[in-house]
Amino acid sequence: MLLFNFISFYFIILLSYTTMSVNKVAVVTGANKGLGFCIVKKLCEKYSGKVYLTSRDEQRGGKACDELNKLGLNPFFHQLDVSDKKSVNNFVKHIREENEEVEILINNAGILFLKDAPEPKSFQAEQTIFVNFTALVDFTEAILPFMKNGGRIVNISSSSGHLCRVPSGDIRSKFQSEMLTLEELKTLVSSYVEDVKQDEEINKGWGDSPYVVSKVAVNAYTFMLQRRLAPKGITVNCVHPGYVMSDMTRGGGSITPDDAANVPVRLALTPWGAGLYVWHNGTVVPWDGPDPRGYIDGRKV
């Protein structure tokens, strides 16, 4: 009888462990093509849990999953537009109802207006900040209650996210302050959009690129979030994947999406630190140091 009880107890523990392991998931935003697609592909190959390929467009997302199925991989599709609250709520509801824990979150969704974009600069600033920063933050905050202790968050940043890209020392110090709260960060970024509307962004020291401000803000949020989540063992890092060949750059670039996915996936699976800003070659760079485009990429800056 004693032996039977022991075996029953062991079976229950084993069953619980198996159930828990099945419930861990990885989530990649903006993943129906390009870098996001390649990140999903590599996670499917290397990660033992369920991998969500998410995208705004259901048809394109489903087609991307079909492509990976042909390679013998098994991602799970779910519609997700991080800039749409209803879509975010639906995804979070799905995670809750499936009793899943997010072990890996890779925030990849983003937009870029090229220099010849016809849209007014106020519209470009508003949309770039909204999609690249505000939506990323809001989605991450919504999913945090379902993050697994010891999980990993990787924010896809850019060389544009380096602090040196903001001309004003005063603005740089505000972004860099460890006392900065999330609400203060949001207010700071909103002030940039207002300055653009008033045609004052250059005079105020923001520079001329909404993309730069959006990615600097993403990095600031990354380091802030790492400080918040450290007690739970969750690592939060940001990565510049390189100048990736993509639709967003009209095919321009110096690195393929497949190669660019390597470092983000390594950070998601086996991070070599927390609160890091990592370059496309795996080098950890100081956010407030010299421009890595010069001493790593060999560019004149």
Question: Residue 73 to residues 64, 109, 139: CA-CA distances in angstroms?
Answer: 11, 22, 26
Catalytic-residue membership of 211: yes
Sequence-distant (≥ 6) Cβ neighbours of residue 120 within 8 angstroms: none
d(CA 138, CA 103): 18
d(CA 217, CA 220): 5
Q: Considering Cα of 251, then 244, then 224, then 86, what sign does the dihedral take? A: positive
Place of tokens 């927390």: 274
Please tell me what DSSP assigns to residue 186. Answer: H
The one-letter amino acid code at 116 reads D
Q: Where is 28: in which H helix or E strand?
A: strand 24-28
Catalytic pick among 52, 192, 211, 221: 211
The total of other beta-carbon atoms located within 10 Å of residue 16's CB is 10
Question: Which conformational region is residue 150 in: left (phi greater than 0), alpha (psi within -120 to 50 degrees), or beta?
Answer: left
187, 240 in Cβ contact below 8 A? no
The one-letter amino acid code at 161 reads G
What would the two tokens of residue 175 be?
Answer: 């972004």
Catalytic residues, by residue number, are 211
